[in-house]
């Protein structure tokens, strides 16, 4: 798209922090790029970058403009997707930012199911904690975000939000594996592995522990659930995870026990998009599929989980 080339160049400069670096990235000479930016600033009526001794940086006006640019590029992509859709071919690309917990089971299954019906649609999956996911939406780097306990809901449209209780994860031979009803204080009596603070489940655990006399004393803090899953098989430790990230029925090495809502608040798994933005056909349909899957998942849990 030629008419948007200058805008993309501006974005590249903003990202590189230097005209010369951006020129190299975009495979043109710095003099050409420099002139385009000067030309744009002139017809725009205001400078976009502040010139520093070591390069350039967006000024406030530039920040406003870059937001416009990203939104326009994304919207043009939406139009092209809709056009492709009405001409018959179900093509498109979906970019989704989602929590780590969804990587092993949920997202692969969902994407496979969607692609079974629409083979022309491709996906980008970005593993992001809740803050990063929101940042991705704001910068139009993702179309959708599916994360636990999002922080700043104001800037986004919430397409769906379902509750997930926190589960304790342990080896089959763990002393607590026999107990059907598990309390958080029982878990904290054993060595435990928790994620860092930016992860949603840790946020819920911190809230819960703050009301208790016991303290959290993790033997390991890891931002990989994969690490946690494997670690609890070495030492008799306890980890924590949402059920959507677990193979609840068919795991032959681990045992999972839900913690009561009275002990640890449920997590809100939330599907969001940038406020007011129109999604491409593929993204909108995929969002619908996610929503209906999560809804029926949530209903099933309610039935089988009388604690809720």
Partner DNA sequence: CCTTGTGCTTCTTTTTTTGCATCACTCTTA
Partner DNA sequence: TAAGAGTGATGCAAAAAAAGAAGCACAAGG
The site for its own copies (CB under 8 A) is made up of 1-7, 39-40, 43-46, 60-61, 64-65, 67-68, 71-72, 75-76, 78-80, 82-84, 86-87, 275-278
* Residue selected from 21, 118, 183, 236 as contacting DNA according to rule CB under 7 A: 21
Task: Give the residue from 207, 172, 212 showing the smallest Cα distance to 188.
Answer: 212
CA distance 58 to 33: 16
Dihedral, CA atoms, 297, 300, 302, 307, nearest 10 degrees? -110
Shortest Å, Cβ 62 to DNA: 13
Name residues contacting DNA, limited to 103-142 (CB under 7 A).
Answer: none
Please, what is the end-to-end C-alpha distance for the chain in angstroms?
52
Going from the C-alpha of 117 to that of each of 32, 46, 122, the distances in angstroms are 46, 49, 12
Report angle CA 21, 25, 27 to the nearest 5 degrees.
110
Q: Are 167 and 205 in contact (CB under 8 A)?
A: no
CA distance 55 to 44: 21
Residues in the chain: 308
Shortest Å, Cβ 66 to DNA: 16
* Residue selected from 53, 154, 178, 276 as contacting DNA according to rule CB under 7 A: 53
Q: Does 1 bind DNA (CB under 7 A)?
A: no
Kindly determine how many residues on this chain lie close enough to bind DNA according to the rule CB under 7 A. 21
Three-state secondary structure call for residue 48: coil
User: Residue 87 binds which entry of its own copies, DNA, none, with Cβ cut-offs from 5 to 8 Å by kind?
Assistant: its own copies
* Residue selected from 10, 11, 12, 36 as contacting DNA according to rule CB under 7 A: 36
Cβ atoms within 10 Å of 83's Cβ, excluding its own: 10
Task: Give the residue from 295, 201, 204 showing the smallest Cα distance to 245.
Answer: 201
Q: Are 12 and 26 in contact (CB under 8 A)?
A: yes
Of 18 and 298, which CB lies nearer to DNA in the complex structure? 18
Task: Give the residue from 154, 138, 242 showing the smallest Cα distance to 199.
Answer: 242
User: Residue 124 binds which entry of its own copies, DNA, none, with Cβ cut-offs from 5 to 8 Å by kind?
Assistant: none
Q: Does 19 bind DNA (CB under 7 A)?
A: yes
Of 278 and 299, which CB lies nearer to its own copies in the complex structure? 278
User: Residue 51 binds which entry of its own copies, DNA, none, with Cβ cut-offs from 5 to 8 Å by kind?
Assistant: DNA
Shortest Å, Cβ 46 to DNA: 14
User: Residue 158 binds which entry of its own copies, DNA, none, with Cβ cut-offs from 5 to 8 Å by kind?
Assistant: none
Of 87 and 180, which CB lies nearer to its own copies in the complex structure? 87
User: Residue 277 binds which entry of its own copies, DNA, none, with Cβ cut-offs from 5 to 8 Å by kind?
Assistant: its own copies
Residues found near DNA in the complex (CB under 7 A): 2, 18-21, 28-32, 34-39, 51, 53-56
């Amino acid at each position: 798209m030629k008419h948007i080339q200058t805008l993309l160049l501006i974005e590249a400069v903003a990202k590189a922090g230097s005209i010369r670096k951006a020129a190299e990235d975009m495979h043109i000479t710095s003099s050409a790029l420099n002139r385009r930016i000067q030309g744009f600033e002139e017809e725009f009526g205001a400078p976009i970058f502040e010139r520093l001794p070591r390069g350039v940086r967006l000024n406030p006006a530039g920040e406003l403009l870059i937001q416009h640019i990203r939104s326009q590029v994304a919207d043009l992509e939406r139009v092209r997707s809709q056009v492709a859709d009405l001409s018959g071919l179900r093509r498109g690309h979906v970019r989704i930012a989602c929590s780590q917990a969804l990587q092993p089971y949920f997202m692969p299954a969902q994407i496979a199911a969607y692609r079974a019906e629409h083979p022309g649609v491709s996906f980008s999956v970005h593993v992001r904690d809740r803050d990063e996911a929101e940042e991705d939406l704001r910068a139009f780097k993702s179309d959708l975000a599916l994360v636990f306990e999002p922080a700043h809901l104001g800037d986004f449209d919430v397409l769906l939000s379902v509750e997930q209780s926190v589960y304790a994860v342990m080896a089959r031979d763990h002393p607590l594996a026999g107990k059907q009803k598990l309390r958080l204080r029982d878990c904290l009596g054993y060595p435990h592995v928790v994620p860092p603070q930016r992860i949603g489940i840790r946020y819920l655990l911190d809230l819960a522990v703050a009301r208790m006399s016991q303290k959290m004393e993790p033997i390991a803090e890891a931002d990989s659930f994969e690490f946690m899953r494997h670690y609890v098989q070495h030492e008799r430790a306890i980890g924590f995870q949402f059920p959507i990230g677990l193979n609840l029925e068919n795991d032959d090495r681990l045992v999972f026990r839900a913690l009561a809502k009275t002990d640890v608040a449920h997590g809100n798994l939330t599907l969001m998009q940038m406020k007011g933005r129109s999604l491409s056909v593929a993204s909108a349909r995929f969002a619908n599929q996610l929503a209906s899957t999560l809804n029926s998942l949530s209903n099933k849990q309610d039935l089988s989980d009388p604690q809720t």
